Amino acid sequence: MHATNPDLALARQVSLAPIDAIAARAGLPEAALYRHGPFKAKVALTALDSLPPRPDARLVLVTAISPTPAGEGKTTTTIGLGDALNRIGRQAIIALREPSLGPCFGMKGGATGGGRAQVAPADEINLHLTGDFHAITAANNLLAALIDNHIHWGNPLGLDPSRITWRRALDMNDRGLRHIAIGLGGNSPVREDGFDITAASEIMAILCLAQSLPDLEARLARIIVGTDQARQPVTAGMLGAAPAMAALLRDALQPNLVQTLEGTPALVHGGPFANIAHGCNSLVATRAALKLADYVVTEAGFGADLGAEKFLDIKCRVGGLAPSAVVVVATARALKMHGGIGKAALGAEDVAAVRRGAANLGRHVENMLGFGLPVVVAINLFTSDTPAEIAAIVAHCASLGVVAIPCRHWAEGGAGAEELAHAVATACDAAARYTPLYPDELPLVEKIRVIASRIYRARAVEFSSLAEKRLRAFTAGGHGHLPVCMAKTQYSFSAEPGLLGAPENFTLPVRDVRLSAGAGFVVALCGEIMTMPGLPREPAALQVHLNEDGLIDGLA
């Protein structure tokens, strides 16, 4: 028997406004919309290019402590804060990532918020939205097919089949596809290959960092698919693949407009993971939001050591963005887990465990302050939280010089986050001095060491011989100026998922590196991180179903 998801049930009780009304609320004309049903639409790039000039909005980044099974509520807080800012008279728009089918059918479930702080229609957003992930998957696999076809028909570029680095993609958790053999049956040379989840595809990163259709095609052309017999790079542009790939992605580059349950406009676009990619929504959507509102509330995936660091060192660097403030989300339950308490015992008061776990929160806060940005802590409340536990979090944050605000947006919507909205507005009025962690000219090896030491508090970085060799080659090839995208477990500052809290003085192992020349960064693979996740023992997919009314239910 399938259970009904209470979040979806609650959302269906809310009368959503037609998407035209949401567009008007955001300052977009009807002609800007390509409608996908009554409640979601694409926004034409031409309409965004013709927006009247106005000062950019204040950009607020929502991030969190290191995630735990207890839950933190980063997306829920982003939505609640956006609703609350509008409630107190500050015009706000939300900019979020699109959910991936992998987590939706895997362990995490849906990614549209919860309770009264949701974007809607949640079932449509979680499963397909407007098809952007499918377009990215198709473009990724078109390139893979063109590579094999090029080899089949004589291989005029001399591409070395044993040195092809481009992998296929699928928006699903499927561990059986991590390593495969292709070419069986004699149709092409037999070689090893594999799949990444679509969120980890370089094309996802390209879509999220491209700022126009010409920029998109130029980035696609720079993708390195492998090397020739002389060890020289072969690109998608050399294969002639970029124009057709851009055609597949033309509509996907347009941001998607939806709404919160309280009618706040939300641009939901792009979906790179933060543990294996750069974890931020698209630059196109963020830039559009900055021209449409006074405050833009966006999020970056997983803990601040991953998504927020990449937002500040990659996305802001590429897009010339200047954030005004950072919100770090924490819960008493999650801090108790970081303090050594098991999930089954989280319902009991344990102030000592909260204080121990607060070291994780403090580390993230210190890191965000290190970027020169004002920080506000949002305490996402659960019914089991006690006044003493919340007081311990507030006191710990006060010792760091930041304010911590208890929030009830899950239960009360925007009304439950008004105090947070006032605190964030005040923080945005402070003089932010945003500075990236490292300069472009720092060598790639040193960029990795800076992130590892200053963000993770590692004592040392251990590079495999393969990683060292490839980093030297990337630098020799003219890519040493690129930022670094760290790929590591989201559960710990270290590369060990079980090392919770605020570990330090450990060694960070970098086993491999990949050059994403089209996206414009170098990926450092740390520890055992995978670019194709697997399903858990009891996948969330087993609860997804159509109810008696033909509606999608069971999305966690």
Question: What's the pLDDT score for residue 404?
Answer: 98
Among residues 40, 42, 58, 74, which one is catalytic? 74
Our answer to whether residue 76 is catalytic in this structure is yes
- Distance from CA of residue 143 to its chain's centroid? 24
Residue pLDDT, tens place only, 148-185 = 999 999 999 999 999 999 999 999 999 999 999 999 98
The pLDDT of residue 14 is above 60: yes
Please work out, in degrees rounded to the nearest 5, the angle formed at the alpha carbon of residue 279 by the alpha carbons of 43 and 275. 155
Question: What's the pLDDT score for residue 4?
Answer: 60
Among residues 105, 302, 311, 371, which one is catalytic? 302
Our answer to whether residue 63 is catalytic in this structure is no
Phi/psi at 235 (5° precision): -110, 165
Our answer to whether residue 166 is catalytic in this structure is no
The pLDDT of residue 34 is above 70: yes
Q: Are 427 and 374 in contact (CB under 8 A)?
A: yes
Residue pLDDT, tens place only, 103-114 = 889 887 788 999
The pLDDT of residue 125 is above 70: yes
Among residues 210, 241, 274, 421, which one is catalytic? 274
Q: Are 335 and 357 in contact (CB under 8 A)?
A: yes
- Kind and range of the H or E run holding 111: none
Our answer to whether residue 410 is catalytic in this structure is yes
Our answer to whether residue 302 is catalytic in this structure is yes
Among residues 195, 410, 463, 474, which one is catalytic? 410
Question: What's the pLDDT score for residue 418?
Answer: 98
19-33, 493-507, 534-548: least confidently modelled range: 534-548
The pLDDT of residue 311 is above 60: yes
- Give the mean model confidence (pLDDT) for residues 474-478: 95
Among residues 63, 76, 198, 298, which one is catalytic? 76
Amino acid letter, residue 114: G
Query: Regarding the domain delimited by 139-249, which CATH topology (the fold level of the hierarchy) does it fall under?
Result: Domain 2, N(10)-formyltetrahydrofolate synthetase (3.30.1510)
Cα maximum dimension of the chain = 72
Among residues 108, 191, 355, 472, which one is catalytic? 108
Question: What's the pLDDT score for residue 90?
Answer: 96
The pLDDT of residue 410 is above 70: yes
Our answer to whether residue 108 is catalytic in this structure is yes
Q: Could you identify the residue written with the tokens 């009264």?
A: 116
Domain at 444-526, CATH class: alpha beta
Helix (H, G, I), strand (E, B) or coil at 191: strand
Residue pLDDT, tens place only, 413-445 = 999 999 999 999 999 999 889 999 999 999 999
Q: Are 133 and 171 in contact (CB under 8 A)?
A: yes
Name the CATH superfamily housing domain 56-97+272-429: P-loop containing nucleotide triphosphate hydrolases (3.40.50.300)
Strands 265-268 and 256-260, sheet pairing: antiparallel
The pLDDT of residue 326 is above 80: yes
Where do the domains of the chain lie? 56-97+272-429, 139-249, 444-526
Question: What's the pLDDT score for residue 490?
Answer: 96
